[in-house]
Amino acid sequence: MKKFQKVLALGLAATMLGGVFVGCNSQPATEKPAEEKPATEKPAEEKPAEEPAAPASIRVVSMFGGTDPNAVTFDNLVAKYQDANPNVTVEVESATADETWKSNVLTDFAAGNEPDVLHFFTDVTSKTIVEQGKVVPISEIQSVYPDYASNINPAALKSATCPDGVQYAIPTHGYYEGIFVNTDLFEANGVDLPTDWAKLENAITAFAKTDITPIAVALGHIPHYWIEHLILAEGGVQDHSNKDITAVKESWVNGLSYFKKFNDMGAFPVDTATTQNDLVEAQFINKQAAMFLDGSWAVGKFGDTETVALLPIPGTGNGKCDGKQLISGFSSGFYITKKAWDDPAKREAAVKFVQSMTTTEAIGEMVTVAGGGAPAANVGDLKGLSPLGAKGAAMAGEATAVDGAIDGWLAKPAWEYLLSKVAGIAAGTEDPSAVVDQIITLNNAQ
């Protein structure tokens, strides 16, 4: 700036001086002025060549693994990012988001081995990493990168707020849960679809007499969805959302008691306490099971969607659940850790990575590939949804009330204790009332 001011001053002085000379040596109008020599043009300054971006390396941990329908989509987005940012090396670690994976992520954070970017839950599972101060609030990132998360709907961001009331993660798509049913099996066996509780129990009884498993579930591995839905069916959203478990203990006990009733009716695989979720899911896909409870992320896994329907859990008949209430919300997203944010060699690479994973186009693709769900950005009319995806969207649109997952707020020790007791409740070796009492104790201790 100083150099520019000096040049400007000299130019003004020369102009003024020239004016003085012209005034003193003016010629008659008839005299031809002296021919001026053309000014010598100053060569244009050459812009220095842009230096290539400094090499960077980021480690990314996600739950786009296993049988997740968006596993390939995510990998393609990562490849696209790397093509656009050849200076960045991305190390990706993706896996199925089961309890073991969740624990491994939390253990890595506790040991100081957290990744640079994390695709993880925003519910109570995130409480530890938030309390450790190891993830960066979106507002802080936006103070440096104003466009960060600018395309995300405010309602989606609010739904993905972490337990401390702060938004750290950018969601891509929300979820809904329901009962997937192989309609062709119901039709072939003359069984009504489980649109009310009596028909659900009748379906269990009818299929139990065949070689078709009524309900494909691994109670010793992932009983999560049935825990939620049995409590919802018994107590409705009003009791399901009540965090004072003591006040709604009856709904919890009665809901969990259906595990034993269903098991006694022959509802579950004989090895339900020891099998894995992927195996029972395959049973449903291969038409060896009539029903499978899961979320919108599972829609894309079913190829023959013409003969698969998606239904809400019916109410048990006590008037609390009308059969159109759903478990739904935004419960996961992309975090940037303090480890990456505080490292000049990683910050921009991490920010650009998350932005590339959460563009409106990427979100639309994820929702389409997953077969439905709620997009976190305004993607417009999605084309290419399967018939099953359309059914799921219709079910979500007709919901009379929704609530998030119980493990989104229940203290982790209480939730893990409950998971460990479900198979025992089904077998009759655990008392549901005693289990709920212990859940209350563990939850209140946090």
52 vs 442, residue with greater confidence? 442
The CA–CA distances, whole Å, from 342 to 108, 195, 246, 346, 358 equal 18, 53, 44, 8, 22
Segment among 224-233, 283-292, 310-319, 364-373 with least mean pLDDT: 364-373
Contacts of 40 (CB under 8 A, 6+ apart): none
SS3 25: coil
Q: Considering only 140-149, 195-204, 309-318, 359-368, which range has the smallest mean pLDDT?
A: 359-368
* Per-residue pLDDT, 46: 52
Percentage of the chain modeled with pLDDT above 70: 88
441 sits in which H/E element: helix 432-444
What is the secondary structure of 42-89 as a DSSP string?
Answer: PPPPPPPPPPPPPPEEEEEEES--TT-TTHHHHHHHHHHHHHH-TTEE
**328-357 residue pLDDT tens:** 988 899 999 999 999 999 999 999 999 999
The residue with greater pLDDT, 175 or 323, is 323
Please state the rounded mean pLDDT for residues 290-296.
Answer: 95
The sign of the dihedral angle between the CA atoms of 326, 406, 299, 178 is negative
What predicted TM-score, i.e. pTM, was given to this entire model? 0.69
Tokens 């002025």 locate to: 33
| Secondary structure string (H, E, C) spanning 210-253 | CCCEEECCCCCCCCHHHHHHHHHHHHHHHHHCCCCHHHHHHHHH
Average pLDDT, the chain: 88
Region 412-436 average pLDDT? 97
Residue 26 predicted with pLDDT over 70: no
The pLDDT confidence band at residue 50, using thresholds 50, 70 and 90, is low
Q: What gap in Å lies between CA 299 and CA 292, rounded to an integer?
A: 11
For 390-413, the pLDDT digits (tens) are 888 788 878 999 899 999 899 999
Residues found in the chain: 446
Tokens 């090396």 belong to 89
